[in-house]
Structure 1
């Protein structure tokens, strides 16, 4: 668990940490620039305020008063005449001389910024013109020591550092729980798939909601159930094959030994040879059915479709099966409208109908009636075979089309068959692109419905 959660945690941390750093850098730069701009605007406004006073009284007393006020503030002022001669200063004049010659002759009325490089310079400074009667008579230079700005920025950096540490800690906590929450179900799924690969299909995964993880967990659980069913079906299939093969082989071997080792009359000999022949035919039919199913599983089973006149086809079916129904004292009724055509393989469709009618004969009592009806709905052909035999129990209906599945678990041989007939019917119907369904009630009979597309 730790490997995946650590990988997820590192990825999330790098992404979130990178975004936080970029956000903090942008925010820090914006705050610093905004703060410096506010200081410059404030310094400019202070210079303009002094300029307004000096324009009313541009004399030595007023100049002295202005410089005296600035000497008590954290800013400094230098007042010069139009030629640059210093008339008054609130601090050491030598410190400001380098800035006094930077201003041009045409200074706008609102003033201008002389120095804004607070990172490298000793001061930030502004200048405002003193205009009397439309003529420039002097200038007011304002200075602010950048040391106070560096102190302000340092305090701001400290606050950002503290906020960054708190953000990183919260990010790590969130990532820990987030990565753990994501990794845990994934690890559970990994362990479940490992169990499945070892043949243990009794996996149980918790439901994780309706998100992608929940869908994945549901798919793995469904896969485990399907594999469990397939494994059990394979076991049952092998058991059924061994039983179905062993029984006729036992009969063949047993009666062959009797014929070989005993002096039998011609009548007994013929009787035993007939049994051997019947069991050999039964074994041959079983092997043929198994080969057919194997071909269907490999998609190598060939279906040769052609236009088929269902009216003529069903008439031939009735002619073939009527004697078998009469022998069992049963009735077969066939109903099919005229001029009805379908794209199908005639021999395979006959095999489908044969198996279903054969089941109706086997599992219906004397005097029973079987209905074979054909109808058309839009472009689909519906073929229904309904009998009033003994029916199929409701609990057996979902499995009746499975291979070797029998309602009679005792596997009585009186009814014959290989247990593969209905599974072959299902595969043949699907190979035609059709559908098969069955409805049944015990004591009332069974109805098979076949739906084929592409009616002509």
Structure 2
């Protein structure tokens, strides 16, 4: 059965208060009862001792009985044989106490308050009685004992007043507990509703919600966690939107880049099909189609490569090899592309420089960074420097290109990012995936890459590959 949290809290708090009140009520009643009986016992012993102090004179006893009669107190005197000597009766009556209790009295021990259902005459009366021994003053011998009794009804009457007052207090406490339970439950539920309302706003896409945190209890801890969650969701949403914008931009760029070579290839094929291209231009047309086809293949391969790296579908075959030979070969391959932009590639590396890496992926990393440098450098120099220290091999690639701001440096590793959108149609920067692939591959190697750049002064990439 479903029950609102408000009523759960109210019932729980009400139950706790009622439990405490009931326990306190019973404890107080027990305490009052014990106190009443102890007070009666002390009072009855006081009467007995007063009579003993006046030598148990019959006149004094009768006067005392007259005074105490209004209180329902009765006085009885028994001799050492347990025979009643006061009040005097024609019939012989005894106290009816046990031999053990009689011996205690003979030894001077009073008998504390006890209850009887009959009096000494056999009448059905609930009484509370104390027994006080007395001794002959001259010899100190046990002479008998005094029994002073009071009706239980007198004690219970005073307890009844206490119970009535306690019941009235319980009723008022019940009303107070109900009000307090309502206020407490309302306060607790209001805090939950505050979180619930904020959660609904977040569910609807509002990530600017923040809950007040007073750092007082677990609800405030929950509010702090909620605020942290909302901040994370907000950042995630912003990142998703940013990535989505870049994905859309990439799709537009990719469509544009694919459309251009496909249009070229289709036009050339139609020209060849209809003999519209002179014989001496056909070979050149075939070369153009080959170049555009390679461009499409490169665009597709970069995307496939990036996805394989991200999903851990590639396995590195790491080995130690001569880094100089690889760098020299890459410089030769890219020198023509560099010269087309008026750039000069400079290799400064020891011929015996060793590196521990996957041969093909190491080459891919270097090629991507150098092509990025060529793309953003005109009529400049691109230097590739290699050296080693105690624990790693270090490759630095420095260009004198347009450089980047600090914000751009933080973003270059992101997929589809292009620092200079005006160059997005160059033949080496179609996808914006080159540096994203570099970072993934470097991470898989357990290596590191850092970037230093200033706008207008160029950029330096530093790669560090640990030894085996």
Q: Under TM normalisation by the shorter chain, which class is it?
A: 0.7 to 0.9
Measure the CA separation in 2 of the matches of 1:338 and 1:134: 127
Q: Which residue of 1 aligns with 2:366?
A: 353
Alpha-carbon contact 2:347-2:385 (below 8 Å) kept: yes
Matches within 5 A, 1:349-428: 349-376=362-389, 383-418=395-430, 419-428=432-441
CA apart distance, 1:285: 0.8
The answer to which of 8-17 and 245-254 deviates more is 245-254
- Post-superposition Cα deviations, 1:379-414, rounded to whole Å, max 9, x if no partner, equal 676654333322013332232112221122234433
Q: Structure 1 residues 441, 155: CA separation in 2 closer, same or farther (over 3 Å shift)?
A: same
Measure the CA separation in 1 of the matches of 2:362 and 2:462: 14
Q: Which residue of 2 aligns with 1:93?
A: none
1:138 to 145, 155, 159: 145
Q: Structure 1 residues 266, 84: CA separation in 2 closer, same or farther (over 3 Å shift)?
A: farther
Q: Structure 1 residues 31, 350: CA separation in 2 closer, same or farther (over 3 Å shift)?
A: same
1:298 aligns with 2:311: yes
Q: CA RMSD in A?
A: 3.4
Measure the CA separation in 2 of the matches of 1:78 and 1:166: 49
CA apart distance, 1:228: 4.1
The answer to which of 363-372 and 320-329 deviates more is 320-329
Larger Rg: 2
Measure the CA separation in 1 of the matches of 2:354 and 2:116: 97
Aligned-partner SS, 1:125: strand
Alpha-carbon contact 1:372-1:385 (below 8 Å) kept: yes
- Post-superposition Cα deviations, 1:25-52, rounded to whole Å, max 9, x if no partner, equal 2211221111111112111111221222
Q: Which residue of 2 aligns with 1:31?
A: 28
Alpha-carbon contact 1:385-1:447 (below 8 Å) kept: yes
CA apart distance, 1:87: 2.5
Q: Structure 1 residues 329, 438: CA separation in 2 closer, same or farther (over 3 Å shift)?
A: closer
Aligned-partner SS, 1:17: helix
Aligned-partner SS, 1:105: helix
Alpha-carbon contact 2:402-2:456 (below 8 Å) kept: yes
The answer to which of 397-406 and 104-113 deviates more is 104-113
Per the normalisation by structure 2, the TM-score is 0.80
Measure the CA separation in 2 of the matches of 1:422 and 1:7: 56
Alpha-carbon contact 2:349-2:387 (below 8 Å) kept: yes
Q: Structure 1 residues 46, 282: CA separation in 2 closer, same or farther (over 3 Å shift)?
A: same
Alpha-carbon contact 1:385-1:449 (below 8 Å) kept: yes
1:41 aligns with 2:38: yes
Q: What is the aligned residue count?
A: 429
Measure the CA separation in 1 of the matches of 2:57 and 2:420: 127
1:114 aligns with 2:102: no
Matches within 5 A, 1:231-380: 231-258=241-268, 259-260=271-272, 261=274, 263-299=276-312, 301-309=313-321, 312-321=322-331, 324-325=334-335, 327=339, 328-335=342-349, 342=356, 344-376=357-389
Alpha-carbon contact 1:44-1:111 (below 8 Å) kept: no
Aligned-partner SS, 1:80: strand
1:127 aligns with 2:124: no
Per the normalisation by structure 1, the TM-score is 0.81
